[in-house]
Structure formats: structure tokens, C-alpha cells
Amino acid sequence: MKKPTQESLLVRLQRLLPAKLMGKIVHRAALSENSLLKTVLINSFIRLYKVNLSDAESPNAGSYRSFNAFFTRKLKDGARPIDESDSTVCSPADGTLAESGLIHGSKLIQAKGIDYTVEQLFASSDLAAQRFINGRFATVYLAPYNYHRIHMPIAGALTESVYVPGGLLSVNAATTAQVQGLYAENERLIQLFNGENGPFAVIMVGALNVGSITTAWGGETPQHVRENGHHFLHTKSDPHTYYEKGDYLGHFNLGSTVIFLAGPEQLNWEEGLQAGTSLRVGERIGTLN
């Protein structure tokens, strides 16, 4: 019998963990304003991940009311300059490019030798998913030490959002190389937009210990939505909120992965863009056609 690899054992352990309960506990601790608890959490995190606060709006670690406020911190004005060219596609997040390229039919690459489909990612085969057949995709992994706010890669009007319930497996490299269709298994928030060149989507994928997702248009996703899934409007008053390139879109209450999808022939990725590339918000990663 083949001996399981270390990664396989780690994945099996994750599946045994009470991930939803753990997420609730971590979320509650992260939101706690208890002075001792938040100080211990913040200082321990800074030491462990060597976090640099020099570009933060508040570089004083003691000024944050909770660990979550620190983790989802804003940056100083100008800390992430946005490439203003009308034809530029920008990185939606600080992180590491996991994969990018052409969607072959409906197949996207998750990791070497592993793919999944747009229909699986959307948990349906409806018109929304069909818009991205033969399109383009880019997947950005946010490590714990990264800036965790998500920004618009191009300008567009938000038309629909869908929360898909699911698991909460880790999305690190070891797990993505083991679990078939990981991004389509974990819970995720799909945000659909119309841009000048056509439809695009920004998908925020949950992970182990991710307490919730907060958006600029809807605030923190309610627990009943996370558990049951729900098609819901992004605002109560305006169903077509428009965001400029680089605008803040949302953040993870503890980190995860962002997937950007564009329709066919809308854009081309930068030459030399490859898995493992470090990215920053506003950095040019592609060009609109």
C-alpha cells in the first residue's frame, strides 16, 4: 500500500477538524476588544510573520481596537499606487499569484495537474458561469502577513453577488496541490460585474479559520447567508453600484484567496506573469483589448 504523503495526512486532518466551529471561535477572539487578549494576539502575530507596519494608516500596533482591526488595517494614502492607464488590469490584492491564464472551455488550473470548472466554481451552469467560457483567470493567494483588503482590478458595475456555502480547507500550496477542485469546495463569495469590455467576476474564497467576509457594498456577510447560501443585492437602494479601478471592494476577516475572471477576448496577461510571482494592489498584471 502506498504510504500517504505528508500533505495528504494534513488534508485528512483538516477534514476531521470542526472547521465551522473553529472559524466562529477565531472570529470571536479576533473581534475581542479585551486589551490583554488583543495585545497578545497582535504582538505575537507581528513577531511570527515579521509584519511591517510602516505603510499602515496607523503604524502603532497598540492603536488597533482588536486583532481583526489590525489584520484588516487600511494603508496610508499612496501606499499602493494604482496604474491609471485606461487599458491596464491591476492586481486585486497583495499576495502570490497561484495560477493564471486561459480558461480552456470551462476549465481553470488550480495547481499543476489539477483543474476544475467554472460551473463548479459557480455551483451552477447558469448564464453567469457561461459568460466566462474560454475567458481568462488569475488566482491570488493571500498569506497571513499580506495586506488583506481587496481592490477592483478594473472598473465596473456590480450586478449580482452569490454566497456559496462550503468547506473551509486551507488554501496554501500544499493543500491546493492535493485537493481536487478545492476552490469549488470551499465557501466563497462570487461578485459579478459589468465592465466596458464585458462581464468579469471577483471571487473571494474562504479558508481554514476565516471568520467571515466583509464587502464595501454589504458589510459583513450574515451568518445565515454563510450557512445557507443566498442570492442577494449589494445595496438596498442601488442595484448597480459602480466602482473605479483600485477602489476598495472588501476584505477577509482572516485571509484566503481571490479569483479574478474575465470573459473571452477581454484582456491579455502581462508577458512573464507566472505562478509564484509576488503581487501588490494596483500593480499592472494585464491589458484590456
Nearest to 258 by CA among 249, 245, 246, 269: 249
| 192, part of any domain | yes
| 153, part of any domain | yes
Question: Which residues touch 13 (CB under 8 Å, ≥6 apart)?
Answer: none
Domain encompassing residue 192 = 88-288
pLDDT at 232 (0 to 100): 62
Residue 67 shares a structural domain with residue 92: no
Q: Which amino acid is at 152?
A: M
* Angstrom distances, CA of residue 104 to CA of 3, 117, 134, 140: 34, 9, 5, 19
Say whether 240 is catalytic.
no
pLDDT at 47 (0 to 100): 94
Q: What pLDDT digit, counting tens, does each position of 24-33 carry?
A: 777 677 888 9
pLDDT at 144 (0 to 100): 85
Residue 131 shares a structural domain with residue 230: yes
pLDDT at 170 (0 to 100): 67
CA–CA separation, 259 and 190 (whole Å): 9
| 203, part of any domain | yes
CA–CA separation, 74 and 71 (whole Å): 9
Domain boundary among 29, 45, 71: 71
pLDDT at 3 (0 to 100): 43
CA–CA separation, 274 and 33 (whole Å): 41
Say whether 86 is catalytic.
no
| 79, part of any domain | no
Residue 34 shares a structural domain with residue 128: no
Nearest to 59 by CA among 72, 73, 49: 73
From the list 27, 148, 151, 251, the catalytic residue is 151
From the list 27, 66, 94, 212, the catalytic residue is 94
pLDDT at 240 (0 to 100): 59
- C-alpha cell recorded at residue 26: 477565531
Residue 166 shares a structural domain with residue 245: yes
Residue 92 shares a structural domain with residue 199: yes
pLDDT at 28 (0 to 100): 79
Q: Is the dihedral of CA 277, 87, 135, 216 positive or negative?
A: positive
Contact (CB, 8 A) for 29 and 57: no
* Angstrom distances, CA of residue 190 to CA of 95, 118, 166: 19, 12, 13
Residue 121 shares a structural domain with residue 225: yes
DSSP letters of 226-284? HHH-EEE-S-SS-TT-EE-TT-EEEEEES--EEEEEE-TTSEEEPTT--TT-EE-TT-E
For the chain, which ranges sit under pLDDT 70? 1-8, 10-23, 27, 168-170, 174, 208-211, 222-224, 226-227, 229-240, 255
- Count of domains for the chain: 2
What pTM value is reported for the model?
0.87
| 81, part of any domain | no
pLDDT at 109 (0 to 100): 86
Label residue 4 exposed, middle or buried (CB < 10 Å: 0-12, 13-18, 19+). Answer: exposed
Residue 134 shares a structural domain with residue 257: yes
Say whether 151 is catalytic.
yes
pLDDT at 2 (0 to 100): 40
Label residue 272 exposed, middle or buried (CB < 10 Å: 0-12, 13-18, 19+). Answer: exposed
CA–CA separation, 40 and 42 (whole Å): 6
| 242, part of any domain | yes
